[in-house]
């Protein structure tokens, strides 16, 4: 009895010390354990702390009207450059018709249940076959959301003996997949192949001991910088190391490569990608995603990807809608040509006017400026209110302090006149920024 009490006392002390250390680590000064919700109110998180700045203006803005280059924001028309509707499929008449007809025929529920249990149909199979063939892979598995899909696929592929090596700028869904991994993981600086080689050496030492394997993860096109993952560079390391490669090509699918099959096709290395992933959230302008690769591995994933086994299957209107979108993506290369006409005009226009747009090789166009978070907010408000241009503003902590990125996403639907209006607006606001206008002229109060 006494021994049990002593052990309990010891455990309680340990738990208290551990809790204090943890709270100190997070910089929160609390004397005793408080209600977990109260703790959340003390520190609303890096983005949540801006929640009350001009409510609904910067955070959770509401763009209204049909998805198009010109939409309404707070009742005023704005030129919209923030939607990944690269090929203009969101509002394509054939797509809208297919979506509406499928919803009328099937409703939003059918089929009910997870795919494995009761949620399968011939059309789900057909969509997988068509997607797999399009990205030149033997087999393909539909995923009900990209985020959960890739995260859970990573979880399914590796066990604690394996090592994951991934690019530092990987999307949050990849990072979360890596966080589920119980074994070692190493990160390499963005596209740094020399450093990747070093990480692979470390990984190799570990798997030599554990008997596991190595999974390398990168992206086809990176959504912030717009540059491509150096897939060729990664693959060149196969001469020295044995590893499998998973590529998230969310922004490359439909926008680059000769047929629109993405970054692997663009770099001539599609065959060397072991697992190819993309979401329907961008070029396909819908919901859902897929992962494609060799038949046996995809078959394994069907039975082991928890986010799919334990979640409802993609509803029929989304499946029929995706079949229509894929048909248009394949049969209308002019959509991609129209997109690139706008991309080239926009990116050349920015460069010719002395803007820094980094090293983008895709439609994603980041305009990099220097200024505080407060200046960024004032500039964005000026752009929206006085120049009618709406784009995403990326600030600290997503980018380093002092950097502002205005991210422009062109689509096939934009016109050359839209490009001209935008460049001219940017020339004006950049001059104001450089002249200190947004420091003095506080259109909005924004504290860092
Ligand atoms: N990967 C990348 C690179 C993304 O940009 C996104 C966001 N669309 C996802 C995965 C997640 O996809 P989804 O929106 O389908 O959940």
In this structure, the answer to whether residues 315 and 198 fall within a common structural domain is yes
Same structural domain, 342 and 207 = no
Residues 70 and 100 both lie in one domain: no
Candidates 83, 145, 173: which one to mutate for ligand 1, based on the most atoms within 8 Å of Cβ?
A: 173
Percentage of residues in the chain with pLDDT exceeding 70? Answer: 90
- Is 424 inside a domain boundary? yes
Q: Kindly tell me if the per-residue pLDDT of 12 is higher than 60.
A: no
Write out pLDDT tens, residues 326-359. Answer: 999 999 999 999 999 999 999 999 999 999 999 9
Whether 260 maps to a domain, the answer reads: yes
> 128: CA distance to ligand 1 center in Å?
19
Asked if the structure places residue 33 within a domain, the reply is no
CATH number at residue 294: 3.40.640.10
Chain segment 267-318, per-residue pLDDT in tens: 999 999 999 999 999 999 999 999 999 999 999 999 999 999 999 999 999 9
Q: Are residues 284 and 373 in the same domain?
A: no
Q: How confident is the model at residue 16 (pLDDT cuts 50, 70, 90)?
A: very low
Average pLDDT, the chain: 92
35 CA from centroid of ligand 1 (Å)? 34
Residue-wise pLDDT tens digits, 69-128? 999 999 999 999 999 999 999 999 999 999 999 999 999 999 999 999 999 999 999 999
> Quick check: is 38 in a domain?
no
Mark whether 125 and 153 lie in a shared domain.
yes
Distance CA 261, CA 152 (A): 23
Q: What is the domain extent for residue 357?
A: 47-80+333-441
Q: Which of 309, 331, 353 is a domain's end point?
A: 331
Q: Are residues 323 and 238 located together in one domain of the fold?
A: yes
Q: What is the pTM of this model?
A: 0.92
To test the ligand 1 pocket, which listed residue (145, 171, 287, 392) has its Cβ within 8 A of the most ligand atoms? 171
The reported pLDDT for the residue numbered 33 is 67
**115/235 same-domain check:** yes
pLDDT tens across 367-417, in order? Answer: 999 999 889 999 999 999 999 999 999 988 888 899 999 999 999 999 999
CA-proximal residue: ligand 1, atom 5 (nearest): 250
Taking the centre of ligand 1 as the mean of its atom positions, its distance from the CA of residue 85, in whole angstroms, is: 13
- Going from the Cα of 20 to the center of ligand 1, the distance in angstroms, rounded, reads 36
Give 223 Cα–ligand 1 centroid separation in angstroms.
9
Q: Which residue among 83, 131, 281, 289 has the greatest number of ligand 1 atoms within 8 angstroms of its CB, and so is best to mutate?
A: 281
* Residue 16, domain member (yes or no): no
322 lies in the same domain as 397: no
Q: Please tell me the residue having the least CA distance from ligand 1 atom 8.
A: 281
Q: Is residue 26 part of a domain?
A: no
**Is the domain of 179 the same as that of 290?**
yes
Residue 29 has a pLDDT of 56
Would 71 be classed as within a structural domain?
Answer: yes
CA of 143 to the centre of ligand 1 (A): 12
For ligand 1, pick from 131, 249, 279 the residue to mutate: most ligand atoms within 8 Å of CB.
Answer: 279
CATH number for the domain spanning 434: value is: 3.90.1150.10
Please give the number of the atom of ligand 1 that sits closest to the Cα of 289. 15
Count of structural domains, the chain: 2
**Ligand 1 geometric centre to CA of 248 (Å):** 9
Domain-located, residue 371: yes
Measured in angstroms, how far is the CA atom of residue 279 from the centroid of ligand 1?
6
Measured distance CA(200)–CA(360) in Å, rounded: 27
Q: For atom 12 of ligand 1, which residue has the closest CA?
A: 146
- Domain closes at, from 331, 364, 396: 331
Question: Do 65 and 117 reside in the same domain of the chain?
Answer: no
Ligand 1 shell residues, CB under 6 Å: 145-147, 150, 171, 173, 219, 223, 248, 250, 279, 281, 289
Q: Are residues 291 and 342 both part of a single domain?
A: no
- Final residue in a domain of this structure, among 313, 331, 349: 331
Beta bridge partners of 365: 408
* pLDDT value, residue 5: 40
Both 304 and 247 in a single domain? Answer: yes
């Amino acid at each position: 009895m006494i021994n049990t009490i002593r052990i309990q006392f010891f455990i309680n002390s340990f738990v208290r010390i551990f809790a204090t250390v943890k709270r100190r680590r997070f910089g929160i000064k609390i004397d005793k354990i408080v209600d977990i919700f109260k703790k959340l109110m003390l520190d609303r998180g890096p983005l949540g702390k801006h929640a009350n700045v001009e409510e609904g203006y910067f955070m959770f803005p509401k763009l209204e009207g049909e998805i198009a280059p010109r939409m309404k924001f707070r009742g005023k028309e704005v030129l919209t450059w923030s939607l990944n509707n690269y090929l203009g499929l969101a509002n394509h008449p054939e797509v809208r018709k297919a979506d509406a007809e499928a919803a009328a025929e099937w409703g939003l529920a059918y089929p009910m249940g997870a795919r494995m249990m009761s949620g399968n149909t011939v059309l789900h199979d057909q969509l997988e076959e068509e997607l797999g063939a399009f990205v030149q892979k033997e087999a393909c598995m539909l995923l009900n959301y990209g985020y959960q899909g890739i995260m859970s696929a990573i979880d399914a592929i590796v066990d604690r003996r394996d090592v994951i090596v991934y690019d530092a700028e990987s999307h949050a869904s990849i990072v979360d997949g890596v966080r589920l991994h119980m074994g070692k993981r190493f990160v390499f600086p963005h596209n740094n192949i020399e450093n990747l080689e070093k990480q692979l050496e470390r990984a190799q030492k570990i798997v030599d001991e554990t008997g596991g394997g190595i999974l390398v993860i990168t992206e086809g096109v990176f959504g912030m910088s717009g540059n491509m993952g150096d897939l060729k560079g990664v693959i060149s390391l196969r001469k020295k190391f044995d590893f499998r490669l998973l590529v998230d090509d969310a922004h490359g699918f439909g926008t680059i490569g000769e047929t629109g099959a993405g970054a692997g096709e663009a770099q001539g290395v599609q065959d060397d990608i072991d697992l190819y992933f993309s979401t329907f959230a961008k070029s396909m302008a819908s919901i859902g995603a897929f992962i494609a690769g060799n038949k046996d591995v995809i078959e394994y994933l069907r039975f082991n990807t928890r986010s799919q086994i334990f979640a409802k299957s993609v509803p029929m209107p989304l499946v029929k809608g995706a079949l229509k979108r894929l048909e248009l993506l394949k049969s209308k290369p002019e959509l991609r040509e129209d997109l690139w006409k706008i991309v080239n005009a926009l990116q050349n226009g920015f460069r010719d006017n002395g803007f820094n747009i980094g090293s983008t090789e895709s439609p994603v166009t980041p305009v990099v400026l220097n200024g505080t978070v407060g200046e960024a907010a004032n500039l964005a408000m000026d752009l929206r209110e006085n120049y009618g241009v709406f784009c995403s503003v990326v600030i600290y902590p997503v980018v380093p302090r002092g950097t502002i990125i205005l991210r422009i996403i062109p689509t096939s639907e934009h016109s050359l006149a839209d490009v001209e209006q935008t460049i001219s607006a940017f020339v004006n606001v950049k001059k104001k920024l450089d002249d200190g206008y947004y420091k003095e002229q506080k259109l909005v109060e924004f504290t860092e």
